[in-house]
Chains A and B, each alone.
Chain A
């Protein structure tokens, strides 16, 4: 077998980087007054190419490149496609919703694309230092993006809060990596997996696990590392929140899966109870806090915390069923959450003209299309059958039940009843007639080609995941299997011990 050129292993990242550089360079050469909108299209085209490149990587043999630092496998392709898809939708959304007179549009698109480079690399890295670099690339882009509305006051606040807390979290992660190196003498994930069970200083490994968990759980905004989420979501522009709440989380979950299932499966008895507690806390606190919110973006922020909790429930699942469930949930969550933030962006605008839930009253009369789409995405977030949200919850909780965590599944499903309370309240407000029909609203943004495509993608993904989840689940499962089988000497897939009644 001819060896695969290393560059093929990071082809999507290369394409994204070139796109980002191109966007920045063109931006610099353009005149002061010339429109920046075409740059968005350049970024979108580059992202589409990266998406195709990721799919093409499926034809490569599973393996690593660059001295065993990056991997291509169905697992990485799954997350690459997911991240590129989300970034594409966000770019299309931004094309029509960024204010025309903004001078920083070019940088905006470039930052999104650079962030995507970091996220993609994060999901493909099998060397902890590359993991760290990838995380920093994606984080720094998102810190800047979060503070993009400099004029509002809330923007810089959000960015600084996110930056400070985020740096702390990455610091924890780095410390964990250092301890891993101290205990095993390597930072290559497969090597760590091989050496960790027999490491002399077991305490180091435990401490490393704890520190890395802090860092990663911060990125997925799980309780008790969630406090930044509502403030950042409120302050950041809505298209950025659509990105923030999905793609970096997907990448961080990919990392979490890799660290837990591939690097430290030997410590399952330690991390499984920890994640059990974090899952229960995340969904309960997230939902209870969301119930009391009046601000749409804060409510959705807390709901995303709750979703992180549902997702963590999948980690109670044994072996590949847990990984597949988690991967599927991320995909379903990304589709519907990007969708709901797209609708919020279009309704309340880039600068949040309508921040409160009550401002959405009568939306379905003002704009039937936006109203129906909002209802659709909310119904999916509730988890009604035949939408992606349902199968996400279904796989996640059935993995938990399969792993014996029945109490977790019951708590999770009761929580989804609680969540229905605030989602439905929002939906019903939108479906209600405005008591003051004379109130004038800023006209809802026109649905152009780009936004139309973005919404179509989000709706189609949510519906496909809800009606024919088979294909995605299949990819998630093959992803799960590759994650469990350390390349290159493809080990047989371990079938978990079966519990008989």
Chain B
């Protein structure tokens, strides 16, 4: 068991990569790529379940740590590990992977080898982002996660894929340039890329305040684009309306939000606190702006894009409120959104495959024809808008109450308007698509309800929504162990000598 604990993260990272190689090598026949991808993702999901099962909530710091030298100079380590913050996020990535395969099962008909290889590489990159504790390793996975996404948007775009892909890539690639310079600056000053070491050094070290401000801003900028935080959201709507469903399910939110909490707030607490009022302001604007724009969209992918901006702005609000409840609630809400969006994306993707359009105006009166799809969609909608007993409620409640008590009553009240608007656009969407008079489209097209594969994956997701809504403490207890004000001490504590600043560039000699 000890041996498994000490290598499990590597297996979780490598499993999808192995699947990608296998898909690329084997011929594209008899849906072979689909099956390999499904098996791989299921295996990596099962592997990821090992983490919470053997996670020791009583033990602070990182667990399942692996820390071996990778490159001698500069001192880059293969340092991975999870704590309360990231453990469930890894599981979430694991869960969304098979959902993504099922979504793509019928939607992706050609060039399946390329699709599933890149899809699996993307999985590796995302797991890597959540577990990497060495800044260079983290940056590597962060950048790696952009490429498969961009290529897949370009190749499988609905109307104008390459343009959306370029927009996505430039939006996310350019901010990572300052991020890399900031990381290099830190390395030049401290001689370390290690998260745990840096947390101590940056809080205790004597650095020029202005320089740290810019470094922290470079980190924040890269993450805020990826969330996206208003006004950096320009890429999201195009990406959602072009990307294959399996990819848009994972593109927004969790990578950026997690990185904010881990690497921006975690490494630069005082700088982050100084920037917090601005971010809270932007988050509240984002909540209302996203919700208002979602109300007027004609295409459901674009509606969803703006809904996502609104929802993730809630999490940003929680993170920069600097309260423990807010942080735990924020992370929990990322999980909730992941699960709920998986269901919603899957169902809307199914609708698009069946009816060949994503224009809301062409739908109407589908409830009688496809009752099962309708009821699943209604449940997911209710979870998304925060109905008590379903998971969305818990997260929103934690976020809003932490803002109300810990930050500012005014902001909390304004943000609550976003909840109401959220209910409005989602319920209106349900009404327009599934109820009302039967549209021409509903009459003409054949009506197949959900298939076995889709049901098999949706049922557990919906059950999960209910469980996460009724028994949130299962998750929150774990998350809270990761929510500390930095510095967090790692299992392998540092010798005091390392606390002194190493001369630039001359470590490990």
Contacts and interface: CB of A to CB of B under 8 A. Distances in A.
Interface of A: 321, 364, 375, 379, 382, 384-386, 390, 394-395, 397-398, 401-402, 406, 409-410, 413-414, 416-417, 420-421, 424-425, 427-429, 431-432, 468-470, 473-474, 477, 495, 498-501
A498 B147 contact: no
Contacts of A499: 504
Nearest to A395: B74
A429 to B, nearest CB: 8
- Among all A-B residue pairs, the 3 with the closest Cβ atoms: A413-B177, A385-B140, A417-B174
Contact of B177 (A414, A421, A424, A473): A414
B184 A321 contact: no
Given A375-B151, A474-B72, A501-B501, A416 B162 contact: no
B154 to A, nearest CB: 4
Give the interface SS of chain A, mostly helix, strand, loop or mixed: helix
Contact of A428 (B162, B181, B187, B505): B162
Given A413-B180, A473-B73, A402 B505 contact: yes
Nearest to A498: B503
Contacts of B501: 500-501
A406 B180 CA distance: 11
Nearest to B212: A501
Nearest to A477: B73
A395 B76 CA distance: 12
Contact of B72 (A394, A410, A416, A470): A470
A310 to B, nearest CB: 12
Give the interface SS of chain B, mostly helix, strand, loop or mixed: helix
Interface in B175-217: 177-178, 180-181, 184-185, 187-189, 205-208, 211
Nearest to A466: B140
A499 B249 CA distance: 46
Nearest to A391: B71
Contacts of A379: 147
Given A401-B184, A417-B177, A501-B189, A428 B72 contact: no
B72 A409 contact: no
Interface string B153-179: 011000001100110011001100110
A413 B503 contact: no
B178 A501 contact: no
Interface string B339-381: 0000000000000000000000000000000000000000000
B150 interface: yes
B320 interface: no
B139 interface: yes
28 contacts: A384-B144, A385-B143, A386-B140, A386-B144, A394-B180, A395-B74, A397-B181, A398-B74, A398-B184, A398-B188, A401-B184, A402-B188, A402-B504, A402-B505, A409-B184, A410-B178, A414-B174, A421-B170, A425-B166, A428-B166, A432-B154, A469-B71, A470-B70, A470-B71, A473-B71, A498-B503, A498-B504, A501-B208
A295 B177 CA distance: 28
Given A402-B504, A477-B73, A432 B180 contact: no
Given A321-B505, A424-B169, A501-B206, A432 B162 contact: yes
B240 to A, nearest CB: 19
B141 interface: yes
A431 B178 contact: no
B166 A432 contact: no
Contacts of A413: 177-178, 180-181
A417 B139 CA distance: 15
A413 B177 CA distance: 5
B206 to A, nearest CB: 7
A322 B71 CA distance: 18
A143 B66 CA distance: 54
Contacts of A397: 180-181, 184
A220 B185 CA distance: 29
Nearest to A398: B184
A417 B161 CA distance: 20
Interface string B102-139: 00000000000010000000000000000000001001
A31 B24 CA distance: 47
Given A385-B141, A385-B144, A417-B170, A410 B155 contact: no
Contact of B151 (A321, A386, A425, A427): A427
Contacts of B151: 375, 427-428, 431
Contact of A498 (B146, B180, B184, B506): B506
Contact of B150 (A385, A417, A424): A424
B147 to A, nearest CB: 5
Contacts of B150: 424
Given A424-B150, A477-B73, A398 B504 contact: no
Contacts of A417: 170, 173-174, 177
A483 to B, nearest CB: 17
Contacts of B144: 384-386
A386 B147 CA distance: 12
Contacts of A406: 181, 185
Nearest to B178: A410
B166 A410 contact: no
